[in-house]
Amino acid sequence: MSILHSSIRELAAQLANKQLSSLELTEHYLQRIEAHNPQLNAYIRITAEQARADAQASDARRAKGEIRSPLDGIPMAHKDLFCTAGITTTAASKMLENFVPPHSATIAENLAQAGAVMTGKLSMDEFAMGSSNERSAFGVVHNPWDSKAVPGGSSGGSAATVAARLVPYSTGSDTGGSIRQPAAYCGVTGIKPTYGTCSRWGMIAYASSLDQAGPIAPSAEDCALILNAMASFDPKDSTSSQDTLRVFDNLLNQPLNGVTIGIPRIYFQGLDSQMADNIMAAAKVYESLGATLTDIELQNTDIAIASYYLIASAEASSNLARYDGVRYGHRCENPDNLQDLYRRSRSEGFGEEVKRRILIGTYALSAGYYDAYYEQARRARRAILNSFTAAFTECDLILGPTTPSPAFAIGSQTDDPVAMFLGDLYTVAINLAGLPAISHPAGFIQHLPVGCQLIGPHFSEARLLNLAHRFQQESDYHRQIPAAYAA
């Protein structure tokens, strides 16, 4: 089995039977990164020395029979939103261009404990605000299936790197779709766990009531193994859940008989017919595996985008107030006074989209407008959660497209932020409700991948991974590698 086509389990087996050492595997991937990253522009920083040291430590553990998990010795990369002690962490912003955190995010620490080999930090939309990776201060990331198309966002670097097989897996974060949408655009699998499953400690905050970390990898089985290591109860994050699953791969092979999949009619109204055909074909695969399909109502789908962009911007405006040029982050030259220091440091450090969100959020929270905007959005959020709860009385899981269309062309939506917001139709409601959802590859339209999304009740990750895994045993979309990266 070639390295590129191997799953995490298969790589772990090759390491276990000494066909390969972790150092050899790491050198293989470092060469791929060096050869292909210039076209993709997915890495903000490559940490080759760190990777070699991690790999050698893994090989030394293996020699002593002290392997920690199936991830031990396997290369990966982090979205540059997760703090990594001693290694620059930028959130793809000029604001944090030179920020070297003294600590690592809990999820980075958890993966390191499981034996992960870190090859570097991946590009994203600045502060995770965006859907195309065009908002990175380090330049656009290209979609491996078509270099003129966006990889999606905000975890565009994470999805592109995995699609091009520059690493077997990566981490991402999802506030309103940022794991699932780029996974869909790049033809890989990504899961956003239930809010509170992966610690937010050390993850640079965008909208704290929505932010959630998760894995991106070719397959659902890979994602399950990564989540086993990433998820933990963390007293350092006050919203970390004690009820979270600890094991995510225990249901992978369960039969689907008796599972009812709800298909919201509203998801297909006005949907491009090729998208609809791909998604219904995926639903049929689930049916052939024993699941029952049923038409459902899903109320309040239409208010999700407005509610999300209000709440996310409001939280962003308060989270990003900390970047004032005083304690850390970009500081302007020769300020005249304190006001000038704040104003110029923030004007110079933040990009256009981040400024737009801070302005929207500050306005929405300001005295006199709070009730009209923020409070309304909060009510809408509650109604959206209630609609999902009602839908889950009729079905176990919900199926639909991850996005309204495949990846769009670079530059085609940059002047129209609202058009870009509308592309988040299928993903943002899930974050507002705190639910888990997975996106898995479900075919192609011309040469561009399409993602199918499954949404479940809180703490149903093992079930979602089970379904996607069974689908992937019947299909090979997730095994396809873009031609330019296949050798």
Which residues are designated catalytic? 79, 154, 178
The DSSP result for 278-300, as a single string, is: HHHHHHHHHHHTT-EEEEE--TT
Burial of 84 (0-12, 13-18, 19+ CB in 10 A): buried
Q: Report the C-alpha dihedral over residues 300, 303, 309, 315, rounded to 10 degrees.
A: -50
C-beta closer to ligand GLN: residue 110 or 154: 154
Select from 125-133, 194-202, 274-282, 317-325 the region that touches ligand GLN (CB under 6 A).
125-133
Contacts 24+ apart (CB under 8 A), 421-424: 421/131, 421/305, 421/309, 422/305, 423/131, 423/181, 424/131, 424/176, 424/177, 424/181, 424/305, 424/308
| Structure-block tokens of residue 432 | 């507002």
Q: What distance in Å separates the CA atoms of residue 447 and residue 173, rounded to the nearest whole number?
A: 26
Q: What distance in Å separates the CA atoms of residue 464 and residue 456, rounded to the nearest whole number?
A: 7
C-beta closer to ligand GLN: residue 154 or 460: 154
C-beta closer to ligand GLN: residue 69 or 136: 136
Scanning residues 139 to 168, which ones bind ligand GLN (CB under 6 A)? 154
User: Does 178 help bind ligand GLN (rule: CB under 6 A)?
Assistant: yes
Least distance from ligand GLN to the Cβ atom of residue 154, Å: 4
Contact 208, 239 (CB under 8 A): yes
- Neighbouring-strand partners of residue 438: 191, 454
Least distance from ligand GLN to the Cβ atom of residue 255, Å: 33
The binding track of 199-218 with respect to ligand GLN, each residue x by CB under 6 A or -, is -------x------------
Measured CA angle at 367 (ends 363, 368), to 5 deg: 95
Q: Report the C-alpha dihedral over residues 355, 357, 362, 368, rounded to 10 degrees.
A: 130
User: Does 131 help bind ligand GLN (rule: CB under 6 A)?
Assistant: yes
Which runs of consecutive H residues, i.e. helices, occur in 129-243?
A: 156-163, 180-186, 220-230
User: Does 177 help bind ligand GLN (rule: CB under 6 A)?
Assistant: yes
C-beta closer to ligand GLN: residue 129 or 454: 129
C-beta closer to ligand GLN: residue 423 or 449: 423
Least distance from ligand GLN to the Cβ atom of residue 428, Å: 7
Using DSSP's 3-state secondary structure scheme, residue 434 falls into coil
C-beta closer to ligand GLN: residue 174 or 461: 174
C-beta closer to ligand GLN: residue 206 or 350: 206
CA 404 from chain centre, in angstroms, equals 18
Contact 326, 341 (CB under 8 A): yes
Q: What separation in angstroms does the CA of 423 have from each of 377, 401, 413, 418, 429? A: 19, 11, 10, 9, 12
Least distance from ligand GLN to the Cβ atom of residue 438, Å: 15
Select from 103-111, 176-184, 287-295, 465-473 the region that touches ligand GLN (CB under 6 A).
176-184
User: Does 129 help bind ligand GLN (rule: CB under 6 A)?
Assistant: yes
Beta strand pairing status for 292-296 and 437-445? Answer: unpaired
User: Does 464 help bind ligand GLN (rule: CB under 6 A)?
Assistant: no
Select from 4-12, 127-135, 243-251, 252-260 the region that touches ligand GLN (CB under 6 A).
127-135
The DSSP symbol for 65 reads T
For ligand GLN, the binding residue among 109, 249, 396, 424 (CB under 6 A) is 424
Select from 139-147, 169-177, 333-341, 472-480 the region that touches ligand GLN (CB under 6 A).
169-177
Least distance from ligand GLN to the Cβ atom of residue 425, Å: 11
C-beta closer to ligand GLN: residue 59 or 424: 424
What Rg value do the Cα atoms of the chain yield, rounded?
Answer: 21
Beta strand pairing status for 43-46 and 117-122? Answer: antiparallel
For ligand GLN, the binding residue among 101, 176, 214, 215 (CB under 6 A) is 176
User: Does 174 help bind ligand GLN (rule: CB under 6 A)?
Assistant: yes
Least distance from ligand GLN to the Cβ atom of residue 437, Å: 12
Which runs of consecutive H residues, i.e. helices, occur in 116-163?
A: 156-163
Question: CB within 8 A of 17, min separation 6: which ones?
Answer: none
- Neighbouring-strand partners of residue 449: 444
The binding track of 305-344 with respect to ligand GLN, each residue x by CB under 6 A or -, is -------x--------------------------------
C-beta closer to ligand GLN: residue 177 or 349: 177
Select from 18-26, 27-35, 128-136, 264-272 the region that touches ligand GLN (CB under 6 A).
128-136
For ligand GLN, the binding residue among 75, 115, 120, 130 (CB under 6 A) is 130
Least distance from ligand GLN to the Cβ atom of residue 422, Å: 11
Select from 41-49, 174-182, 325-333, 385-393 the region that touches ligand GLN (CB under 6 A).
174-182
Binding site for ligand GLN (CB under 6 A): 128-131, 154, 174-178, 206, 312, 424
